[in-house]
Amino acid sequence: MFNSIRFKISVLFTAVLGLILLVYSSYLYFNLSTFVYYEVDKNLTAKIEAFEAIIEEYATYLEPDSETAPDSLARVIELIANPKKEFFQAPKIKELDQKWTFKIHELALKRDFIVVYYPAGDIAIKSNNIIDDDILAQMQKSFTATPHERLFIQDVISGELKLRIISKPFDRFGRVQYILQLATSMDDVLFRIKRRFALIFISIPIALIVMSILAWFYVVMILQPISTITKAAAAITHKDMSKRVTQTLADPEIKALADAFNNMIERLERSFQYIQDFSYDVAHELRTPLAIIRGEAEVALRRDRSAEEYKKALETCLDETGTMLKMVEDLLLLTKLESQPHAISFEDLDLNAFLEEFYEQVKIIAKNKSMIVSLTVPKRSKKIHANKLHLRRLFFNLVDNAIKFTPAKGKIDIIAEYENKHVRISITDNGIGIAQEDIPKLMKRFFHRESPELATEAGHGLGLSLVHYIAKVHQGKIEVRSVKGKGSTFSVILPVVG
């Protein structure tokens, strides 16, 4: 189970999904924290700027000529703790009180801690809600550690105390009179962030469990066609290779696999059939010469005979052995041409020179049979890429067939002519011809043509098969035209070089 593709894909899917969720969750957590701190800092900045502005406005009316503004500071701080308290009846002050009271509620300043320092570090005033010495100590520590000439924000964490503190100088008449410090508790903010982190942390394993189960069933569904192919493969034996895989609704990739599997089985079926037919044909063809050899040996050993009779029996056995050896050699060559065509070496041959050399050789054979052979070649010779030995064997087999099935004093014409990028070499005889129904069978192994008209020596039926495969490895083909009783034309079409 753990070594199955199904398990590995499910684990890989879950691991990749887990990694994606982890990275994405970390990204969300980081963005959330950044956004929350940005909002906190934005609110702190707005609060301290509003605090600074209202002090300046109060000082304009309460202490217009004083560099410091203690009354204004006291009024602003007191209103934060007690918004309804009234100090003055002046209309402008009442207007400022109403404005500041509205800002206190709008900015939620009652929950924040405020300390105002003199530049030297002494506390000028602090908000009434600072009753915890630890809070004041941490704010004073932050004051000491921060620059006083500009706005500055920092975190202060001490035990369970978590503050976000902003500091800003307060200028009056061109000089820094106070350092304003405002702190807000981060407990609620951090609680929200932690709760979101806990939610993410819990949701990841739940999502992984759910998705791993879905991935398992999805992988099972995807691999179902492969299981079908496996069952089909298990059902195929050498006795029955007719089964095929049908995947009408499969994905293109699985369908391609099923098609490749079916094509492979089809090729194997043809190969098995070929081996079966080949074995039957070889056994059939070897049975006759073996029977003759055995018969001659039995006759020779049945009783004492003369030396001449023994010699004749041995000659018959030798002839039949030669026939079998020729058949085996041709079979080996056929097998090589079919299975190892790349192992055959090729060279560029001058076509006219090759045909003229071949013509001189077949003239002698034809003369012994009282036949006339003629050769016609183009004036301008071209080259062909061929194996000289095998190509000579191809033409010898064709001419041998022409001589065999042509009566004495017959004629054989060898004609070469170019057709575009090919050459057609035709061997035409005026012999007995071939029946039309036999032409498609000529290139099959062990096919024999019966010729009662001529007393010809029977071949073993491999000559034209060799011709066909030799032409094929030369990227050529064989064409046959024949009229019964008038002769035949075998044309070899080969590609030329250039």
CB neighbourhood size of 489 (10 A): 16
**Amino acid (1-letter code) at residue 36:** V
Query: Whose CA is closest to 51, among 211, 131, 147, 169?
Result: 169
Q: What strands lie across the sheet with 487-495, from one edge to the other? A: 372-376, 411-419, 422-429, 487-495, 477-483
Q: Write out residues in the chain with pLDDT < 50, as ranges.
A: 454-455
**Which pLDDT value is given to residue 326?**
67
Q: Domains plus CATH for the chain?
A: 5-193 (3.30.450.210), 252-339 (1.10.287.130), 343-495 (3.30.565.10)
3-state helix, strand, coil in the chain (%, to 5): 60, 15, 25
Q: What percent of the chain has pLDDT over 90?
A: 16
Q: How far is 332 from 338, CA to CA, in rounded Å?
A: 10
**Which pLDDT value is given to residue 455?**
46
pLDDT 10s digits, 435-494: 888 888 877 766 766 555 544 555 566 778 888 888 888 889 999 999 888 899 999 999
Whole-prediction pTM: 0.47
- For β-strands 422-429 and 487-495, DSSP reports them as antiparallel
Q: How far is 115 from 127, CA to CA, in rounded Å?
A: 6
Hey, is 484 helix, strand or coil? coil
Q: How far is 448 from 461, CA to CA, in rounded Å?
A: 5
pLDDT 10s digits, 121-136: 889 899 888 888 888 8
